Amino acid sequence: MSLLARLNTPERRELLWLAIFSVIILVVLPSILEPFRLNLFGKYLTYGFVTLGLVICWGDAGILSLGQGVFFGLGGYCMAMFLKLEASSVANTKIQSTPGIPDFMDWNQITHLPFFWQPFHSLAFSLAAVVVVPTVLALVIGVAMFKRRVGGTYFAIITQAIAAILTILIIGQQGYTGGVNGITDLRTLWGWDIRTDHAKTILYFVSAIALILCILAARVVRMSKLGRLLRALRDREDRVRFSGYEVANFKIFAFCFAAAVAGIGGAMFTLQVGFMSPSLIGIVPSIEMVIFCAVGGRTSLLGAVYGALLVNWAKTTFSEDLPQLWLLAMGGLFIAVVLAFPNGLAGIFRLAIDRLPKGPGGRRQPGITPVVAEQAGAPQ
């Protein structure tokens, strides 16, 4: 009882859950999974970055973005461009008409590296671009939309249109982007072969640790006054505005934060999967990422990450047995979650915890107030 009581401050309880999560992904999974399955979980973890950002952006600030695949993809492409340049050394590409450029450029009769590829020879630049490029795009979109008080469903479909447009752009400019095939056959990172099982295990741990750091960062945001303001404007935007806050700036921040972590996730995806393609950017993957978040619980950081892991794990497992049934199950799952469990697995879990005998102390953790009702956020 004393242990329970001591853990019962919401603050500590949340840290405990985080510690448990860390143990699961850093110790339990690596010790029970063979390298191939672990690598799959490494891939799922990269979606965890996206869902994490969505908790801040959607769960807290109430901004539904159906274009997270764009940021995920941009981060991934920045990484892939660096890796591709490294894989396209003159020695590796002797058989091409122009050695030293990526193979798909050669197939498209491009004879020298385009200017925007040049800086990606530098790892430092590429790593910075992984975060900066998605953030800047989010900033531009955010300023254009939120300053004019566009939000709600309309914002969601604009982000979706952007996802569609970027996909078409990338597919259409295949000489510069690899087209529908994407950027494939990535081999080494500064001479370190990323394709071996050993490298993939290391990359898994890198992803896991980066994810935990991002969770901590997101937690700092949520605990701060900023986080409280985000939740306030989700529930009553006009009141926050009347209190003298510039609502748009907070929304832009939340959107940019989500974009930045999604970009990191994309880069980790590229490293672990070994390629990046427009099929990760478009409408479908973008919505799927939102679904992962919704299933896990849009108001809980850890819930959202568990959501990404669980849905993807289920997808892999069930689609091995019953691919047709899987689509029905997935569709049904989304509808069920939306209709019956708006706070996802985390909400169900929290209900269960609340039923347990309570010690003295806070009842509810700050920062995870369930979504009661979203406002239409109509452009007015």
Partner 1 sequence: MGGYSLTDLVSIMAMQGFAGLILFSVFVLMALGLAIIFGQMGVINMAHGEFLILGAYMTYICSHVVQTYAPALFPVYFFAAVLLAFGASFLLGIVVEWLLIRHLYKRPLDTLLATWGLSLILQQIYRSIFGAREVGVELPPWMMGALQATDTIQIPINGLIVMGLTVIITIGVYLLIYRSRWGKQIRAVTGNRVMAGAVGIDTDRIDRYTFGIGCGIAGVAGAAFTMIGSTSPTAGQLYIVDTFLVVVFGGAASLLGTIASAFTISQARSTLEFFLSGSMAQVLVLLTVVGILMLRPQGLFTLKVRR
Partner 2 sequence: MTDQPDGSRRMLTQRRNVLKGLAAAPAGMLVPAIARAAAPATSAVNTTGLAVTDDTVTVGILHSITGTMAISETGSVEAEKLAISQINAQGGVLGRKIKFIQEDGASDWPTFAEKAKKLLVGDKCAAVFGCWTSASRKAVLPVFEQYNGMLYYPTFYEGLEESKNVIYTGQEATQQILAGLDWVSKEKGAKTYYLLGSDYIWPRTSNKIARKHIENHLKDSRVVGEEYYPLGHTQFNTVINKIRLKKPDVIYAIVVGGSNVAFYKQLKAAGIDLHKQTLMTISVTEDEILGIGGENIAGAYACMKYFQSLKNPNNEKFVPAFKAMWGAQSVIGDVTQAAYLGPWLWKLTAEKAGSFDIDKIAAASPGIEFKGAPEGYVRIHQNHHLWSKTRVGRARTDGQYDVVYETPGLMEPNPFPKGYQ
Residues forming contacts to partner 2 in the complex (CB under 8 A) are 31-37, 39-40, 43, 95, 97, 103-104, 107-109, 168, 171-172, 174, 179-182, 184-185, 195-196, 273-275, 277, 279-280, 316, 319-321, 323-324, 326-327
C-alpha 339: how far from chain center: 24
Q: Which is nearer to partner 2, 199 or 223 (CB)?
A: 199
Interface with partner 1 (CB under 8 A), residue from 157, 216, 220, 322? 157
**Count of residues near partner 1 by CB under 8 A:** 49
The interface region with partner 1, picked from 7-15, 106-114, 119-127, 288-296 by CB under 8 A, is 288-296
Enumerate long-range contacts of 240-246, CB under 8 Å, 24 or more apart: none
Please give the torsion angle defined by the CA atoms of residues 28, 318, 263 and 205, in that order, rounded to the nearest 10 degrees.
20
Amino acid at 34: E
Can you name the residues that pair with 279 across neighbouring β-strands?
none
Chosen from partner 2, partner 1, none, partner binding at 144 (C-beta under 5 to 8 Å by type):
partner 1
C-beta separation of 112 from 217 below 8 A: no
Cα 74 to Cα 33: distance, rounded to the nearest angstrom: 30
For 86, list phi and psi in degrees, rounded to 5: -65, -35
Give me the amino acid identity at 199: A
Least distance from C-beta 360 to partner 1, angstroms? 35
Does 168 bind partner 1 (CB under 8 A)? Our answer is yes
* 173 vs 243, beta carbon nearer partner 1: 173
How far is CA 368 from its chain centroid? 19
Please report, as residue ranges, which positions from 79 to 138 form the binding site for partner 1 (by CB under 8 A): none
From the CB of 125, what's the least distance to partner 2, in Å? 25
Q: Residues 12, 13, 15, CA angle at the centre, nearest 5°?
A: 65
Q: In the set 45, 64, 304, 345, which binds partner 1 (CB under 8 A)? A: 64
Q: Which of these, 275, 264, 263, lies nearest to 70 by C-alpha position?
A: 263
**Footprint of partner 1 (CB under 8 A):** 58, 64, 66, 140-141, 144-145, 148, 150, 152-154, 156-158, 160-162, 164-165, 168-169, 172-173, 283, 287, 290-291, 294, 324, 327-328, 330-335, 337-339, 342, 371, 373-374, 376, 378-380
